Structure 1
């Protein structure tokens, strides 16, 4: 679905203005009136440096991030529905917006007026700018606190209920600026963010690195879409223990790696707290980008997980791969759980080439459906399962209806108050509209 132009009414400058000028306005920053990179007259408010006092960004202004912009401890940045923020890079220095520990962002868009962060280029590309970063005081497993690989942010602490604000109906486009081989921005980076923060209806679109990544913390995420990620669509590490529901990953043939890359801590796989999220109603749609390696999910470096009602489809590599000794220990201890799910790939599972005593495809225990070697669509112990496929308002995303004797799909509302009743597989059911208007393809 094409995103409608939210800013068709940007101020047109009169033909009497021939040269650029600067106007200083209180609590907004420099307003530059000039020709933008696309040759259009625009009124752009510049955001740069540190935001040290409460500030509101208005929908009738166009804002541009210049360099790293940080909201500091005690300040709140409020962004009105329909606001557009552009960003880019200069000489390899990427613009980004960071919400530091103790600061807040209140960015509440709507389905018809999303808040959009995008490239400042007329012809945008992935990696044009950095991304959006939140740093909280919730627990991590790298120590009490740590420093982020980008933006020098301190994150982590002892408050699982820490509150970094609200993100709702926010779209992040063309993120993922690459600093070097070890440091790249993601679309949305969540560093030690606490579960007092509300994050829902988020899209990361055509970013150069990961779409959404959790670095520890306890934050929850509902209604999230990652489209065309250059690396992993969703990623977690550092002991993330939050919840997630209604996620979609849509790879493209241009680039991509895993639908989900899941770690505890690579340098110490048994570090506590273990990464151990609970997820339901996840749809991961893969694509071949030329290397044959794209995987639906890789659980590794000691992560734990509980996952239900998931679809993993069209990845040329394994549907689910489990790597590393600690992760296999967790799997055999029934602490890596995938249930009531459909794994529709040429290769369903790769459990580190052995070492696993648990078979995730076991129908009697897990109610998972996988492709078999005979060409039948799915099976449980060799019995084909009648399955119907429907597209549902989001290209390439499938809604599955399963009919199987005496077996009901799982109702995730039994997992806790965060989860909605959704006893179907995947992030969408027939006639769902939650992706409408605010997303783009």
Structure 2
């Protein structure tokens, strides 16, 4: 009898230990998992199980106002398909919601199901809302036209759910090689189309996308703490009347990981294809961004281009930020975007620290706004003088080392915190109507001050 009691106590103790381990945030403890292939349609509220590994084969639509909740630690893998039309995607349709409840130690991860993962294995996480665009309504580029791919409306505070601590990797497969950059991109990475200000998005990383990292097509979403790492085309792409506010963004490349794009920029903003002056004009308001290109000078011309490229009639506000190590320049405008900037007509570029591999073209000008009128990219002395005047307070650096970031190119992931002597430690400015709400007022410039929210972790994986 005593032996039986001891055996029961021992088993109970072991079960207790196992239970504690499973519920802890210790990333070294492997979870007990099973595998389930999700259906291609979810029409009622559903909460996934962190103890299950999920597969998506093709396109999964969450619709009929359903709420999909994904708990911390959940991994969703997408089956690889070669044809762009069959690339994996999770689409949150208008009226439906996505709730991603990750943590820094237990992020939610969307990845490729391949053993040897590669950029472009799957497509995008696409969220479709009812906030305004400057084209009224539209359908997601790259997907079949239907009510399930529709975006647009007039609900500025539309709520598509919330996302916290999410990592997307090896996506961006819908766009073809040699894509036409003069038209709107097909869906890639985290694609927010007409997503409203009622939606919460905080701590997302998109890494190793074959195409864009983030796409903002119309909408009014206000967003913080985004990382784009080694993506193949533009890290942040704005189109069709996006007017949201964003703070603490990182665009970082150690290399150009795809050569299918014509020109890859850290940030590109675009109003519409014509372009027109249709309202709302695309006008992202961005503070505290850090843009870092690959280390060293290019010896052979690649398709890596500008830190910030403003084109096709867009307006923009870019402030309190750092741009460094891009081969073709820090800021480029075109004939439709240079006049609004220089005439203070809706665009601002202020209180930034800028550097480029090509110092003469740190500020540059795309002389043609379409292929027929394109005559080349040239150094822009006028914009340089404007940016460096005593009203706009931007500062030009010849060497990126003079920015004094702690370690821009660590093998284990960059440390973009500021040294105490960094010129970015002070000088931020949040005065004026653009910054009267939403933004966290901090003294420093760039995405990271002295506390490294982007440190290598289970969520922020720099490889």
With the length of structure 1 as denominator, give the TM-score of the two structures: 0.83
Q: 1:295 aligns with which of 302, 306, 312?
A: 306
What is the Cα deviation at residue 108 of structure 1? 1.4
* Aligned with 1:418 (options 438, 458, 461): 438
Task: Give the equivalent residue in structure 2 for 1:16.
Answer: none
Which sits farther off after the overlay, 50-59 or 255-264? Answer: 255-264
In the TM superposition, what are the counterparts of 1:59-78 in structure 2 within 5 Å? 59-78=50-69
In the other structure, the counterpart of 1:254 is 256
> Is 1:172 matched up with 2:168?
yes
- Alignment pair present for 1:344 and 2:366: no
Deviations 1:74-125 (A, max 9, x none): 1000001111100023352111100000100011111111000001011100
Name the structure with the higher helix share.
Answer: 2
Deviation at 1:329, TM superposition (A): 2.7
Q: Which residue of 2 aligns with 1:96?
A: 89
Q: In 1, distance between residues paired with 2:439 and 2:455? A: 18
Measured in 2, the distance between the counterparts of 1:179 and 1:430 equals 38
**Contact conserved, 1:295 with 1:320, CA < 8 A, in 2?**
yes
Secondary structure at 2:320 match in 1: strand
SS of the residue corresponding to residue 330 of structure 1 reads helix
Q: Which residue of 1 aligns with 2:118?
A: 125
Q: Tell me, in whole angstroms, the C-alpha distance in 2 between the residues paired with 1:172 and 1:402.
A: 35
8 A contact 1:413–1:419 mirrored in 2:
no
Q: State whether residues 412 and 422 of structure 1, in contact with CA within 8 Å, keep that contact through their aligned partners in structure 2.
A: no
For 1:341-395, what per-residue CA distance to the aligned partner results, in whole angstroms no more than 9, with x for missing partners? Answer: 11111231013456967844323111111135xx7x79xxxxxxx8533238951
Using the alignment, how far apart are the partners of 2:419 and 2:447 within structure 1? 10
Q: Distance in 1 between matches of 2:382 and 2:319?
A: 20
Deviation at 1:303, TM superposition (A): 1.0
Q: Could you report, residue by residue, the CA deviation over 1:114-162 in whole angstroms, capped at 9, with x for unpaired residues? A: 00000101110000011100000000011x2111112341001011000
Q: Distance in 2 between matches of 1:158 and 1:355?
A: 41
The structure carrying a bigger strand percent of its residues is 1
Matched, 1:391 2:407: yes
* Partner SS, residue 331 of structure 1: helix
1:146 alignment partner in structure 2? 138
Report the equivalent of 1:33. Answer: none
Deviations 1:246-305 (A, max 9, x none): 000111323361110111113224221101121100000112585164210100011111
Offset of 1:9 from its aligned partner?
Answer: 2.3
What is the Cα deviation at residue 398 of structure 1? 5.8
**8 Å Cα contact 2:80/2:112 also seen in 1:** no
Secondary structure at 1:318 match in 2: coil
- Gaps of at least 5 residues in structure 2 are 1-24, 259-263, 367-377
The residue aligned with 1:161 is 157
1:412 and 1:98 map into 2 onto residues whose CA distance is 38
* 1:400 shift after superposition: 6.4
**1:46 deviation in Å?**
0.8
Deviation, 1:306, is 1.2
CA distance in 1, matches of 2:166, 2:26: 14
State whether residues 247 and 427 of structure 1, in contact with CA within 8 Å, keep that contact through their aligned partners in structure 2: yes
SS at match of 1:258: coil
Aligned 8 A contact 1:205 1:227 in 2: yes
> For residues 330 and 60 of structure 1, do their structure 2 counterparts lie closer, same or farther at Cα, with a shift above 3 Å needed?
same
Partner of 2:327: 316
Q: Report what 1:329 is aligned to.
A: 339
Provide the secondary structure at the position in 2 that maps to 1:203: strand
Moved more, 146-155 or 234-243: 146-155
How does 1:17-416 map onto structure 2 within 5 Å? 43-92=34-83, 93-142=86-135, 144-151=136-143, 152=145, 153-178=149-174, 180=176, 181=179, 184-255=186-257, 257-287=264-294, 288=298, 290-291=301-302, 293-325=304-336, 327-334=337-344, 335-345=346-356, 346=358, 347-352=361-366, 353=378, 359-371=385-397, 388-391=404-407, 394-395=413-414, 397=416, 399=418, 408-411=427-430, 415-416=435-436
Give the whole-Å Cα distance in 1 for the aligned partners of 2:76 and 2:228. Answer: 19
Structure 1, unaligned runs of 5 or more: 12-42, 379-385
Q: CA RMSD in A?
A: 2.7
